Protein backbone atom coordinates (compact mmCIF):
# COMPACT_ATOMS: atom_id res chain seq x y z
CA UNK A 1 0.00 0.00 0.00
CA UNK A 2 1.00 3.61 -0.15
CA UNK A 3 2.47 5.92 2.40
CA UNK A 4 0.53 6.41 5.60
CA UNK A 5 -1.85 9.39 5.40
CA UNK A 6 -3.34 10.65 8.61
CA UNK A 7 -6.96 11.23 7.63
CA UNK A 8 -7.45 10.21 4.00
CA UNK A 9 -6.98 6.83 2.32
CA UNK A 10 -7.17 7.14 -1.47
CA UNK A 11 -4.56 4.59 -2.58
CA UNK A 12 -6.32 1.87 -4.62
CA UNK A 13 -6.22 -1.60 -3.07
CA UNK A 14 -6.17 -3.02 -6.60
CA UNK A 15 -5.17 -1.06 -9.69
CA UNK A 16 -7.39 -3.15 -11.94
CA UNK A 17 -10.32 -5.53 -11.85
CA UNK A 18 -9.49 -9.16 -11.08
CA UNK A 19 -12.11 -11.57 -12.37
CA UNK A 20 -15.57 -10.66 -11.17
CA UNK A 21 -14.41 -8.39 -8.32
CA UNK A 22 -12.50 -5.12 -8.06
CA UNK A 23 -11.40 -4.22 -4.54
CA UNK A 24 -11.17 -0.44 -4.66
CA UNK A 25 -10.19 0.63 -1.15
CA UNK A 26 -9.29 -0.76 2.25
CA UNK A 27 -9.05 1.38 5.35
CA UNK A 28 -7.34 0.20 8.53
CA UNK A 29 -4.59 1.42 10.87
CA UNK A 30 -1.90 -0.04 8.63
CA UNK A 31 -2.57 2.54 5.94
CA UNK A 32 -4.35 5.43 7.64
CA UNK A 33 -4.92 7.08 11.01
CA UNK A 34 -3.90 4.59 13.75
CA UNK A 35 -7.29 4.85 15.46
CA UNK A 36 -9.41 4.46 12.33
CA UNK A 37 -12.36 2.17 11.85
CA UNK A 38 -11.83 -0.60 9.32
CA UNK A 39 -13.50 -0.25 5.94
CA UNK A 40 -13.66 -2.18 2.67
CA UNK A 41 -15.16 -1.06 -0.64
CA UNK A 42 -15.48 -3.11 -3.85
CA UNK A 43 -17.41 -3.71 -7.07
CA UNK A 44 -18.82 -7.07 -8.18
CA UNK A 45 -19.25 -7.65 -11.93
CA UNK A 46 -20.48 -11.23 -12.02
CA UNK A 47 -21.46 -14.29 -10.01
CA UNK A 48 -18.80 -15.47 -7.57
CA UNK A 49 -18.25 -17.74 -4.60
CA UNK A 50 -15.55 -15.95 -2.58
CA UNK A 51 -15.07 -19.02 -0.32
CA UNK A 52 -15.56 -16.85 2.74
CA UNK A 53 -15.78 -19.24 5.67
CA UNK A 54 -18.24 -18.96 8.52
CA UNK A 55 -16.62 -16.88 11.26
CA UNK A 56 -17.23 -14.55 14.17
CA UNK A 57 -15.29 -11.76 15.82
CA UNK A 58 -15.17 -9.66 18.94
CA UNK A 59 -16.67 -6.62 17.24
CA UNK A 60 -19.87 -5.87 15.43
CA UNK A 61 -19.81 -5.77 11.63
CA UNK A 62 -22.08 -4.44 8.92
CA UNK A 63 -21.87 -5.63 5.32
CA UNK A 64 -23.81 -4.04 2.47
CA UNK A 65 -24.60 -5.10 -1.09
CA UNK A 66 -26.45 -2.58 -3.20
CA UNK A 67 -27.15 -1.72 -6.80
CA UNK A 68 -25.62 0.92 -9.04
CA UNK A 69 -28.91 2.33 -10.35
CA UNK A 70 -29.36 5.70 -8.62
CA UNK A 71 -32.84 6.11 -10.10
CA UNK A 72 -33.94 2.87 -8.38
CA UNK A 73 -31.69 2.55 -5.29
CA UNK A 74 -33.73 -0.35 -3.90
CA UNK A 75 -32.82 -2.54 -6.87
CA UNK A 76 -29.73 -4.67 -6.56
CA UNK A 77 -29.94 -5.94 -10.15
CA UNK A 78 -28.48 -9.18 -8.89
CA UNK A 79 -28.81 -11.76 -6.13
CA UNK A 80 -26.74 -12.44 -3.00
CA UNK A 81 -27.01 -15.35 -0.59
CA UNK A 82 -25.57 -14.91 2.90
CA UNK A 83 -25.71 -16.96 6.11
CA UNK A 84 -26.34 -15.47 9.54
CA UNK A 85 -26.20 -17.72 12.60
CA UNK A 86 -26.42 -20.75 10.31
CA UNK A 87 -29.59 -19.47 8.61
CA UNK A 88 -29.61 -18.87 4.87
CA UNK A 89 -30.88 -15.54 3.54
CA UNK A 90 -31.33 -14.68 -0.14
CA UNK A 91 -31.64 -11.06 -1.37
CA UNK A 92 -32.40 -9.55 -4.74
CA UNK A 93 -32.77 -6.01 -3.34
CA UNK A 94 -30.14 -3.70 -1.87
CA UNK A 95 -29.48 -4.61 1.78
CA UNK A 96 -27.27 -4.26 4.84
CA UNK A 97 -26.64 -6.99 7.40
CA UNK A 98 -25.61 -6.19 10.97
CA UNK A 99 -23.77 -9.00 12.78
CA UNK A 100 -23.33 -8.17 16.49
CA UNK A 101 -20.14 -9.16 18.36
CA UNK A 102 -19.81 -12.93 18.68
CA UNK A 103 -22.49 -13.81 16.12
CA UNK A 104 -21.48 -16.34 13.46
CA UNK A 105 -21.95 -15.19 9.89
CA UNK A 106 -21.01 -16.17 6.32
CA UNK A 107 -20.37 -17.83 3.95
CA UNK A 108 -21.86 -15.72 1.18
CA UNK A 109 -22.17 -16.05 -2.59
CA UNK A 110 -22.85 -13.60 -5.39
CA UNK A 111 -25.44 -15.64 -7.26
CA UNK A 112 -26.18 -13.30 -10.15
CA UNK A 113 -25.19 -9.82 -11.36
CA UNK A 114 -27.29 -8.16 -14.08
CA UNK A 115 -25.60 -4.79 -13.54
CA UNK A 116 -22.39 -4.29 -11.49
CA UNK A 117 -23.11 -3.86 -7.78
CA UNK A 118 -21.33 -2.38 -4.78
CA UNK A 119 -20.07 -4.14 -1.69
CA UNK A 120 -19.00 -2.27 1.45
CA UNK A 121 -18.04 -3.67 4.85
CA UNK A 122 -17.81 -1.93 8.22
CA UNK A 123 -16.15 -3.97 10.98
CA UNK A 124 -16.68 -1.66 13.95
CA UNK A 125 -13.21 -2.11 15.41
CA UNK A 126 -9.95 -0.24 15.52
CA UNK A 127 -8.11 -2.47 13.14
CA UNK A 128 -5.48 -5.16 13.06
CA UNK A 129 -2.26 -5.25 15.05
CA UNK A 130 0.51 -3.61 13.12
CA UNK A 131 4.21 -3.56 13.90
CA UNK A 132 4.48 -0.47 11.75
CA UNK A 133 1.83 1.35 13.75
CA UNK A 134 1.95 -0.18 17.25
CA UNK A 135 -0.03 2.76 18.62
CA UNK A 136 -3.06 1.29 16.81
CA UNK A 137 -3.28 -1.52 19.33
CA UNK A 138 -5.96 -0.95 21.96
CA UNK A 139 -5.47 -2.41 25.41
CA UNK A 140 -7.74 -5.33 26.19
CA UNK A 141 -10.67 -4.54 28.46
CA UNK A 142 -12.65 -6.86 30.65
CA UNK A 143 -16.28 -6.85 29.67
CA UNK A 144 -18.96 -9.42 29.04
CA UNK A 145 -20.67 -9.16 25.66
CA UNK A 146 -24.47 -9.38 25.81
CA UNK A 147 -26.10 -10.88 22.74
CA UNK A 148 -27.79 -8.31 20.53
CA UNK A 149 -30.13 -9.08 17.67
CA UNK A 150 -28.75 -9.45 14.18
CA UNK A 151 -30.72 -7.62 11.52
CA UNK A 152 -31.16 -7.06 7.83
CA UNK A 153 -31.95 -3.61 6.41
CA UNK A 154 -33.52 -3.14 2.96
CA UNK A 155 -34.49 0.56 3.01
CA UNK A 156 -33.55 4.01 4.34
CA UNK A 157 -36.48 4.26 6.78
CA UNK A 158 -35.66 6.18 9.96
CA UNK A 159 -32.96 8.36 8.45
CA UNK A 160 -32.73 11.63 10.40
CA UNK A 161 -30.08 13.60 8.55
CA UNK A 162 -31.50 16.29 6.25
CA UNK A 163 -31.12 15.41 2.60
CA UNK A 164 -28.72 17.41 0.47
CA UNK A 165 -29.94 18.84 -2.82
CA UNK A 166 -29.98 15.95 -5.26
CA UNK A 167 -29.28 13.28 -2.61
CA UNK A 168 -31.00 9.90 -3.03
CA UNK A 169 -30.98 7.64 0.09
CA UNK A 170 -30.10 3.97 -0.42
CA UNK A 171 -29.95 2.35 3.05
CA UNK A 172 -29.95 3.47 6.69
CA UNK A 173 -29.09 1.77 9.99
CA UNK A 174 -28.89 3.18 13.52
CA UNK A 175 -28.91 2.04 17.14
CA UNK A 176 -32.44 3.26 17.81
CA UNK A 177 -33.77 0.47 15.60
CA UNK A 178 -31.18 -2.16 16.57
CA UNK A 179 -29.41 -2.06 19.92
CA UNK A 180 -25.71 -1.14 19.77
CA UNK A 181 -25.68 -1.00 15.96
CA UNK A 182 -23.57 1.69 14.32
CA UNK A 183 -25.15 4.51 12.33
CA UNK A 184 -24.63 4.06 8.59
CA UNK A 185 -26.11 6.09 5.76
CA UNK A 186 -25.64 5.09 2.13
CA UNK A 187 -26.83 7.52 -0.53
CA UNK A 188 -26.34 8.85 -4.05
CA UNK A 189 -25.29 12.42 -4.75
CA UNK A 190 -26.75 13.36 -8.13
CA UNK A 191 -26.03 17.11 -8.07
CA UNK A 192 -22.81 19.03 -7.55
CA UNK A 193 -22.04 22.20 -5.62
CA UNK A 194 -23.22 20.84 -2.27
CA UNK A 195 -21.69 21.01 1.19
CA UNK A 196 -21.68 17.54 2.74
CA UNK A 197 -20.19 18.73 6.05
CA UNK A 198 -20.27 22.38 7.12
CA UNK A 199 -17.05 23.32 8.89
CA UNK A 200 -17.24 21.91 12.41
CA UNK A 201 -15.35 20.14 15.16
CA UNK A 202 -16.32 16.46 15.19
CA UNK A 203 -18.31 15.46 18.26
CA UNK A 204 -17.83 11.76 17.48
CA UNK A 205 -15.77 9.48 15.25
CA UNK A 206 -16.98 9.29 11.65
CA UNK A 207 -15.86 7.52 8.50
CA UNK A 208 -16.78 8.90 5.06
CA UNK A 209 -16.47 7.04 1.76
CA UNK A 210 -16.84 8.45 -1.76
CA UNK A 211 -17.06 6.11 -4.78
CA UNK A 212 -17.97 6.78 -8.39
CA UNK A 213 -20.77 5.25 -10.45
CA UNK A 214 -18.69 4.38 -13.54
CA UNK A 215 -17.87 0.72 -13.00
CA UNK A 216 -15.69 0.57 -16.12
CA UNK A 217 -13.49 3.34 -14.69
CA UNK A 218 -13.88 2.51 -11.02
CA UNK A 219 -10.82 4.49 -9.90
CA UNK A 220 -12.39 7.72 -11.12
CA UNK A 221 -14.91 9.70 -9.10
CA UNK A 222 -16.11 11.93 -11.98
CA UNK A 223 -16.55 14.64 -9.36
CA UNK A 224 -14.42 17.10 -7.43
CA UNK A 225 -14.45 16.76 -3.64
CA UNK A 226 -12.70 19.25 -1.38
CA UNK A 227 -11.87 18.02 2.13
CA UNK A 228 -10.40 20.27 4.80
CA UNK A 229 -9.07 18.50 7.88
CA UNK A 230 -7.55 20.54 10.71
CA UNK A 231 -6.69 23.31 8.26
CA UNK A 232 -5.17 21.05 5.59
CA UNK A 233 -7.09 20.92 2.30
CA UNK A 234 -7.20 17.94 -0.07
CA UNK A 235 -8.67 17.92 -3.59
CA UNK A 236 -10.04 14.49 -4.54
CA UNK A 237 -11.18 13.27 -7.95
CA UNK A 238 -11.00 9.54 -7.19
CA UNK A 239 -12.53 7.16 -4.60
CA UNK A 240 -11.44 7.86 -1.02
CA UNK A 241 -12.07 7.15 2.63
CA UNK A 242 -12.02 10.09 5.04
CA UNK A 243 -11.44 9.28 8.69
CA UNK A 244 -12.56 12.05 11.06
CA UNK A 245 -12.16 11.09 14.73
CA UNK A 246 -13.71 13.08 17.55
CA UNK A 247 -12.07 16.49 17.88
CA UNK A 248 -11.15 16.80 14.19
CA UNK A 249 -12.03 20.07 12.46
CA UNK A 250 -13.73 18.97 9.25
CA UNK A 251 -15.34 20.39 6.14
CA UNK A 252 -16.39 18.46 3.00
CA UNK A 253 -17.68 20.03 -0.21
CA UNK A 254 -18.62 18.46 -3.55
CA UNK A 255 -18.06 20.73 -6.54
CA UNK A 256 -18.45 19.83 -10.20
CA UNK A 257 -20.18 16.49 -10.73
CA UNK A 258 -20.08 14.68 -14.08
CA UNK A 259 -21.85 11.53 -12.87
CA UNK A 260 -23.59 10.45 -9.63
CA UNK A 261 -21.36 9.68 -6.64
CA UNK A 262 -21.99 7.17 -3.86
CA UNK A 263 -21.54 8.54 -0.33
CA UNK A 264 -21.25 6.38 2.79
CA UNK A 265 -21.17 7.81 6.33
CA UNK A 266 -20.46 5.51 9.29
CA UNK A 267 -20.04 6.10 13.03
CA UNK A 268 -20.07 3.80 16.09
CA UNK A 269 -23.18 3.61 18.24
CA UNK A 270 -23.67 6.49 20.66
CA UNK A 271 -24.83 3.85 23.12
CA UNK A 272 -21.65 1.82 22.81
CA UNK A 273 -18.70 3.83 21.41
CA UNK A 274 -16.17 1.32 22.75
CA UNK A 275 -14.67 -0.72 19.94
CA UNK A 276 -11.63 -2.92 20.40
CA UNK A 277 -8.80 -4.22 18.32
CA UNK A 278 -10.23 -6.51 15.67
CA UNK A 279 -10.00 -10.27 16.23
CA UNK A 280 -11.56 -12.88 13.94
CA UNK A 281 -12.13 -16.59 14.63
CA UNK A 282 -13.19 -19.17 12.03
CA UNK A 283 -16.05 -21.32 13.21
CA UNK A 284 -16.35 -23.71 10.29
pLDDT tens digits, one per residue of 143-181: 334 446 788 999 999 888 889 999 999 999 988 878 778
Which pLDDT does position 30 carry in this prediction? 63
- pLDDT in single tens digits along all 284 residues of the chain: 333 346 888 888 899 999 999 999 988 766 666 667 788 999 999 999 988 888 887 778 899 999 999 999 999 999 999 999 999 999 999 999 998 877 889 999 999 999 999 999 988 765 444 333 334 333 334 333 444 678 899 999 988 888 999 999 999 998 887 877 889 999 999 999 999 999 999 998 899 999 999 999 999 999 999 999 999 999 999 999 998 888 899 999 999 999 999 999 998 876 555 455 545 555 55
- H/E/C letters for each residue in 184-223? EEEEEECCCCEEEEEEEECCCCEEEEEEECCHHHCCCCCE
Q: Is 262 left (phi over 0), alpha (psi -120 to 50) or beta?
A: beta
Strand ranges for 141-278 from DSSP E: 151-153, 167-173, 183-189, 194-201, 206-212, 223-229, 232-236, 240-244, 249-257, 261-267
pTM of the model: 0.87
Cα–Cα dist 262/209, whole Å: 8
CATH no. for 8-278: 2.60.120.10
Residue 57 has φ and ψ, to the nearest 5°, of -150, 175
pLDDT for res 161: 83
Q: Which is nearest to 80 in space by CA: 110, 100, 121?
A: 110
In the chain, what are the domain boundaries? 8-278
Amino acid sequence: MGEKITHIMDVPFQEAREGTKWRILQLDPRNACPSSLIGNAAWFYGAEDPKKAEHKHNIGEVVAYFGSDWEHPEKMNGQVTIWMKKEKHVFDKSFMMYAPPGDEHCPYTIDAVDRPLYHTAYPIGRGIKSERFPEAVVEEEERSEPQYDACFITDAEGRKKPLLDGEVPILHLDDEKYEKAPTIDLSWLTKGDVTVVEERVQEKDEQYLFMGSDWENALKLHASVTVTVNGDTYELDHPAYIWAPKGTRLEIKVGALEAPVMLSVCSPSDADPWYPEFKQVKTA
